[in-house]
Structures are given as structure tokens and as C-alpha cells.
Amino acid sequence: MRNTAALFLLIVFPAMAQSRSDSADIERGRELFASNCGFCHGAQAMGTEQAPPLARNRLTAQDRNGEILGPIIQAGRPPQGMPAFPSLTATQISDIVSFLHARAREIRGPRVPEESLLIGNARAGEAYFNGTGNCSNCHSAAGDLKGVASKYSPLLLVTAFLTPKPQAIQVNVIQESGAALSGVLIYADEFVVSFRDSAGEYRSFSRGTLKSVRIDDPLATHKQQMARYSDDDIHNLLAYLITLK
Ligand code: HEC
Ligand code: HEC
């Protein structure tokens, strides 16, 4: 089952992206893509001799909501021939990303039946949950995950633990003056951090002007775990979680 993890990525990520974009976004994205990107990547994002395909692409499969594709589009990779697009707005980039996810869905083959996911070992999954996986640091079978199997179909249950619903990311900054501010992250890169404070006010700082910045993503562990799972771990965890009715 070497390719199962890749299979999960294909099944899970486009399905998530679908819920977050509607056809108007996709249509706007299609036009923006044709005029800004099609020359190199092909109007249908299938690639040309100049540039790689983006419809069938590892980064598109891994991206959920522009967090991987957005920064590449904005900054480009000028030395490799991918121009920067600093003038595209966040909404325009998001529309282009919706279009790319829609294209990825269009070319994806037929879905694998859900039963084919159910080949793991529940006891091995339980051991992983309480041991190597460290899941029990934050969850418990008798507590927050009680009944989780009644809430989701097998496929959505895999989705739920591979890529839980996005949670607000907390930001805490300390200004040069010593004043502390906190809020919910809107954007961060190596130069800038912006967030909405508890009063609903938009705040944006150049990182150089701040004494400290702390960003706490409640799902950081989940994101890191993605790289650590073997295919067996995923199957076994699913076999275990499915017993939590
Ligand atoms: C002038 C040609 C050109 C244009 C126009 C262009 N790209 Fe690219 N793009 C490239 C090249 C060449 C690469 C491969 C760069 C590399 O090898 O790292 C690339 C790479 C990328 C990648 C990373 C793909 C990967 O697998 O690493 C993304 C995402 C991307 N482009 C998106 C876009 C989008 C969206 C647009 C339009 C807003 C666009 N590009 C416009 C030439 C172009
Ligand atoms: C550092 C804490 C932390 C660790 C460790 C952790 N999770 Fe989570 N998990 C969360 C948070 C936060 C959420 C999102 C809030 C929620 O849905 O409970 C979440 C969501 C989930 C959900 C979705 C619950 C639902 O009702 O939608 C499942 C299933 C899950 N995690 C399983 C796991 C498994 C399996 C592991 C171990 C491989 C794990 N988690 C490790 C914090 C953690």
C-alpha cells in the first residue's frame, strides 16, 4: 500500500477545498489564470514546455486554502522563471487558487470506495493513539472524541484527523515600548504580521519594529503529524477511531 498516503491527499484535500469556494470564485479565477498564468502554465493549468502543470501538482494537492500556493504566486521564483505577482490582491489570488483546486478535481480519477479504507488494526491504532502518536496528550476516547465515529463517515473521519477544521490562530506581540497586543492571525510572513485584536481592530506590524511575536496554531501538531504517519498508522488509527461510537 505504498501510495495510500498520496491517495489520501488526493481524496481529502480537494474535497476540503470544494466546500470553501463557489463557482463564481472559480470562474473569476479561471479568467485571471488565463490572462496572467496561462501563457506559461497553459490555460487549463496542464503545463507547457515553459512551466509545470498546476492542476496535477503535488503542491496543489497539499494546499487547502491558498496557504501553500498563495505565497508562491505572490513572491514567484524569479531565478527559476516564475515571475512574482505582487499586484494581485488577496481575493484575486484566492480565486486563482479556487480555480486550480477545481481543475485538480476535474482531472482526478474516480473515487475509491470507502470500504477500501477499512483494512487497519484497531488495537494497533489504540496503541498508536496512546503512544507514538501522542494523540492522548490532547484527546481522550471517553472525552472529546467519544461518539466521533457516529459524527463522520469513514472517509470524513480520516479527513477529520488528518486535517481538522481550521481553528483561529492566536498572535501575541510585544511592541518596542513594552506594550502587549494580541488577536487572531490574518497574515504572517518573515517580514509582516497582521491580526484582528479583541476589539475587532485590524493591526499590522513590520516584524522589525516589534520586540517579540508569538504565533500559536492549535493545529500545529496535526500539521506536523501529517509528515510522520505511515500508511499503516493511518489505517490503524481509522480502525480504532471507528470504534468510538
Ligand atoms: C513567464 C512564465 C510564467 C508565468 C506567467 C507564471 N508562471 Fe508559475 N511558474 C513558472 C515556472 C518556470 C515555474 C517553475 C519554477 C521552478 O522550477 O521552481 C513556475 C512555478 C509555479 C508554481 C510552483 C509549481 C511547483 O510545482 O513548484 C506555482 C504554484 C505557479 N507557478 C503558479 C503560477 C500562477 C498562479 C501564475 C499566474 C498568476 C503563474 N504561475 C504565472 C513560470 C510562469
Ligand atoms: C496538541 C494537541 C493535539 C494533539 C497532540 C492532537 N490533536 Fe487532534 N485536535 C486538536 C485540536 C485543537 C483539534 C480541533 C478542535 C477539535 O475539533 O477538537 C483537533 C481535532 C481532532 C479531530 C477532529 C474532532 C472532531 O470532532 O471533528 C480528530 C479526530 C483528532 N483531532 C484526532 C487526533 C489524533 C488521531 C491525534 C494523534 C495522531 C491527534 N488528534 C493529536 C489538538 C490535538
Summarize pLDDT for 82-141 with one digit per residue, the tens: 999 999 999 999 999 999 999 998 887 666 666 777 889 999 999 999 999 999 999 999
Closest-CA residue, ligand 1 atom 19, reads 82
Ligand nearest to the CA of 221: 2
Q: Closest by alpha carbon to 145, among 169, 126, 118, 123? A: 126
Ligand 2 touching residue 141 (CB < 6 A): no
The amino acid at 24? A
236: CB partners within 8 A, 6+ apart: 120, 121, 122, 124, 125, 128
Checking if the pLDDT of 209 tops 50, the result is: yes
Distance 210 CA to ligand 1 centre (A): 33
Supply 237's cell numbers: 488509527
Q: What is the mean pLDDT of residues 66-87?
A: 94
Ligand 2 touching residue 216 (CB < 6 A): no
Ligand 2 touching residue 108 (CB < 6 A): no
Distance 34 CA to ligand 1 centre (A): 13
The confidence band for 26, taking pLDDT boundaries of 50, 70 and 90, is very high
Determine the pLDDT at residue 14. Answer: 43
Other beta carbons within 10 Å of 184: 13
Q: What is the mean pLDDT of residues 167-184?
A: 95
- Supply the mean pLDDT for the chain: 88
